[in-house]
Chains A and B, each alone.
Chain A
């Protein structure tokens, strides 16, 4: 199975505080990889380094290499990086005043695409991929993104990320603000999306990691303690620290 993202000796800082201490990880293409760990372990910092969101904080810096398709993202323009590596956040953040259609088309328009027919096709395809099309197809331009429910807003954000055809989709606790039904829809969606995209998901919910991801990495205090197939992590982890965390004996 080819590697989609190759992370080597990745370190990250906030000011003088080192938040990641040299992470190595090979993320397999067209699979879901979950990142778990206690609060403050560096898991969100880690995925924010995978599309250079980390450096949007003026205090922050990162070192090491993150290769996507053989190219180091730290040698590419940040705009290109974020087109190739999309991100969905914990709290749905649609553009509140834009219509549903414009929310999905925004990324493409920013990249200079203004062909009406192409935009229509991409918007429909992206909303279908995000399993939202049937619920919004009649109100695409009438309703704003903010008028949708929380779960729908999150799927809208996923559609927006998919519209620019990324290779990798990063998800930072994408269902933690959602009710169980909306969470189940997002998890079903992840299952479908990983046939076409590589997904890296940060989650506090270990059952969610075990349900959606083939691979799981356990972070602790800025280190990647264990990175293995998910079933191994949750049935028979190699490291005592992983076991203590997932069985609730931690701390």
Chain B
């Protein structure tokens, strides 16, 4: 083994992105909890934590760019750093989506509670599982798990379409609760976007491990080899 210091720095980069991932995952968990419990304090916590995620994003970027400039990584190491840069951006966006969700929750708390034809907790469970699996596939370099995340995205897309249909109908038939329905619709869309970020992370894991670009349905065959 040579280039010991460089490989130690790659480990350090992985630790840093995992710390960032922990913050983003927690933000989504808290946002979902804030929705189900209509808890304003949890909303404030998510908003307060966002700046830490943003700071972590900049630090991971800086560290990764330094490694690119100073160490001239090749092959799997190059792909790892490129994947980290992209995963970093996705995690920061997950943090943003958590903030978007709690902003809708704060709006909902102001209004009377209304029975809505959408199961946000069920959708949130799916989405959180996707985020967790995407991150686990990254930690373990597990391409099969990453592919499982890609498949799971279709189900979340379907749930989002159904939420749109049901809530649109609800707005028509129950206009008094239209604002609550619109908030719930936004939350569903935010969750769907979190699932898209989890999908992006899974695609980056496949790129890192296999060198295959599977975005937009391309390169599936190579990813399987």
Contacts and interface: CB of A to CB of B under 8 A. Distances in A.
A247 B2 CA distance: 9
Interface string B62-95: 0000000000111111110000000000000000
B41 interface: no
Interface in B1-17: 1-3, 6-7
User: What band does the interface of chain B fall in when counting residues whose beta carbon is under 8 Å from A?
Assistant: 10 to 19
A116 B134 CA distance: 73
A206 B74 contact: yes
Nearest to B82: A235
Given A249-B1, A250-B2, A251-B1, A236 B72 contact: no
A235 B2 contact: no
A70 interface: no
Contacts of A207: 72
B2 A249 contact: yes
B75 A237 contact: yes
B76 A234 contact: no
Contacts of B2: 248-251
A63 interface: no
A248 B75 contact: no
B141 interface: no
A235 B78 contact: yes
B76 A247 contact: yes
A23 interface: no
Contact of A236 (B3, B6, B7, B79): B79
B76 A243 contact: yes
A236 B1 contact: no
A234 B75 contact: yes
B117 interface: no
A235 B75 CA distance: 4
Contacts of B72: 206-207
Contact of B211 (A236, A242, A246): A236
Nearest to B210: A236
A207 B73 CA distance: 10
B55 to A, nearest CB: 31
Contacts of B211: 235-236
B79 A247 contact: no
A250 B1 CA distance: 6
Nearest to B222: A236
Given A234-B78, A235-B79, A236-B211, A247 B1 contact: no
A234 B72 CA distance: 11
B162 to A, nearest CB: 40
B1 A243 contact: no
B13 to A, nearest CB: 15
Q: Which residue among A207, A243, A248, A249 has the maximum number of chain B CB atoms within 10 Å of its CB?
A: A248
A74 B77 CA distance: 42
Contacts of A242: 75
Interface in B82-138: none
A65 B142 CA distance: 45
A249 B80 CA distance: 15
B82 to A, nearest CB: 9
A246 B1 CA distance: 12
Interface string A210-251: 000000000000000000000000111100001100111111
Nearest to B211: A236
B1 to A, nearest CB: 6
A247 B74 CA distance: 6
A64 B1 CA distance: 35
A234 B74 contact: yes
Interface centre among A243, A246, A247, A250 (most CB of B within 10 A): A247
A249 B10 CA distance: 13
Nearest to B77: A247
Interface of B: 1-3, 6-7, 72-79, 211
Interface of A: 206-207, 234-237, 242-243, 246-251
Given A206-B72, A251-B1, 15 more contacts: A206-B74, A234-B74, A234-B75, A234-B78, A235-B79, A237-B75, A243-B76, A246-B75, A247-B75, A247-B76, A248-B1, A248-B3, A249-B3, A249-B7, A251-B2
24 contacts: A206-B74, A207-B72, A234-B75, A234-B78, A235-B79, A235-B211, A236-B75, A236-B79, A237-B75, A242-B75, A243-B75, A243-B76, A246-B74, A246-B75, A247-B74, A247-B75, A247-B76, A248-B1, A248-B2, A248-B6, A248-B7, A249-B1, A249-B7, A251-B1
